[in-house]
Amino acid sequence: MDDIVSLITELGFPIAAAIGLGMFVWKLIKYLAAMVYNVNAQKRSQMIDPEKLFSLPQDIYAKMEKERPKSTRDQYDSFMEKVKASTFNKKLKM
């Protein structure tokens, strides 16, 4: 969110809006091009994802975001302790 605010304060709202609109149009064209390419696909394995059709330099940032872990090791360990301590994992005695 801070990146957006700093972009607007540095460039101004009209320029920031034009950049956002350009990125939206780019994603829309990429999606539509993938749909047109997939019309002639005979099998699922021949179909292509929009991300794999062609890329721009800013697509690297989306890839970096996907590769980054969603939590730290400490957060994972505390979550696993909560799971082990919960009564949900204990077997019911009948």
C-alpha 70/C-alpha 8 separation (Å) is 28
Assess whether pLDDT exceeds 70 at residue 75: yes
pTM for this model (two decimals): 0.45
**Per-residue pLDDT reduced to its tens digit, 25-39:** 988 888 888 888 888
The DSSP annotation for the chain comes to -HHHHHHHHHH-HHHHHHHHHHHHHHHHHHHHHHHHHHTT-SSGGG---HHHH---TTHHHHHHHHHS-SS-HHHHHHHHHHHHHSSSSSPPP-
For 9-18, how does the pLDDT look when each residue is reduced to its tens digit (9 = 90+)? 888 889 888 9
pLDDT, position 78: 93
- pLDDT of 42 > 60? The answer is yes
